[in-house]
Amino acid sequence: MVRMMSESTEKMIKSLKPDLSHLKGVRVIAAMSGGVDSSVVAALLKEAGADVLGVFLNVWEYRREDVAGQGSCCSLDDAYDARRVCDQVGIPFYNMDMRENFRRDVIDPFIADYESGRTPNPCERCNRFVKFGALLDAADKLEADYVATGHYVQRKDDASGVHIYKGNDDKKDQSYFLATTSREQVKRILFPVGHLQKDGTRILAQHYNLLTAHKHESQDICFIPAGDRISFLKQEGAEAGFRAGDIVDRAGVILGRHEGIAHYTLGQRKGLGLPNGPWHVVELDGVTARVVVAPPEDALIHEVVVADVAWLRDVNADECITAKVRYQMKPAACELQRKDDDVHIVFHRPQKPTAPGQVAAFYVDEELLGGGIVSEVVR
């Protein structure tokens, strides 16, 4: 039940709601995570008159002690919250068992990357292969036209097609994680809260009296809710990532020893314990078990090779392109050079290092052009 409001409050609430009137009578799957964002998405769609189906993806077996007090995504408690929100909103609830897919497409590559010296981005793989892949398959089976998620990105359509822009909340913008989404996928994905600040989403959740309105937000990798990556990798048997080896500089001079490359990420500068620093990790070799370090000025990168590239639209020759190769990075001016199936990002100015396995996202101003996976850092 919606609360009674003053005129000023009603005006503010109205300003927060997107225009979803075109979805009246249209079947839409609301991707339910058990969090506040997806809960508001479901409420907005229902109020707009859409034929809404709530779908929760069961991707991983969580121990209750792992998620207690941590905030989680897709745990049993989240499934329970998602079901109760669907009951609140008045829409059907479906629980899809995606554990096998998640293991194959997210967990196993995550482990393999850390064993080989890459730094994976499991959220990107989950979006590409599990969330959007599985949910769009479910949409076909359930005869739904769209899938709606709580991602903080914006979709704008015009005569030339679908365009994806950054979310209005800079701190929550998730366009980076959607850089490898295909054109065919985005045609059927809606982002009803992408224009909002997070505070605005919570205001709407309170307006709809949703039980998730004040729910704690997950900050860690969903299958490692306590943030202990090392314990998880050991538990999963990532033995190759924990072979002892040398820490060397670029000339091969041994500076120290380590207990496994899985303890390190490219660009890392803290916790190295090396003399004559500061040092940055610039290479992780899964074959020789070497950690290569360099001084800060030598750790900067100019060029990155990107594989598995997906384009959301064609690039015009006169457009100024920026790219980011880390989530927290501000997009930097660059040139994109296509070579066979890969794209080389050549930055106009040196950037802090990234790692193979990370996402590279391409932009023109606020618009996401596409992206891929970093396969090599050229130095």
Catalytic positions are 126, 222
The 10 Å CB-count burial string (b at 16+, else e) for 152-184 is bbbbeeeeeebbbbbbbbeebbbbbbbbbbeee
What SS3 state is found at 78?
A: helix
CB 178 within 8 Å of CB 131: no
**Helix then strand then coil, % of the chain, to nearest 5:** 30, 30, 40
Specify burial of residue 189 (Cβ count, 10 A radius: 0-12, 13-18, 19+). Answer: buried
What SS3 state is found at 378?
A: strand
Measure the CA–CA gap between 94 and 168, rounded to whole angstroms: 31
Q: What is the DSSP string of 221-283?
A: -TT-TT--HHHHHHHTT-GGGG--EEEEETT--EEEEES-GGG--TT--SS---TT---EEEE
Identity of the residue numbered 185:
Q
Q: What is the DSSP string of 342-355?
A: EEEEEEEEEE----
- Six-digit token pair at 67? 């998620």
Measure the CA–CA gap between 252 and 69, rounded to whole angstroms: 45
Measure the CA–CA gap between 220 and 60, rounded to whole angstroms: 15
Measure the CA–CA gap between 39 and 211, rounded to whole angstroms: 9
Measure the CA–CA gap between 168 and 163, rounded to whole angstroms: 15
Measure the CA–CA gap between 293 and 283, rounded to whole angstroms: 7
Measure the CA–CA gap between 57 and 54, rounded to whole angstroms: 10
Identity of the residue numbered 6:
S
Among 310, 333, 305, 306, smallest CA distance to 321 is for 333
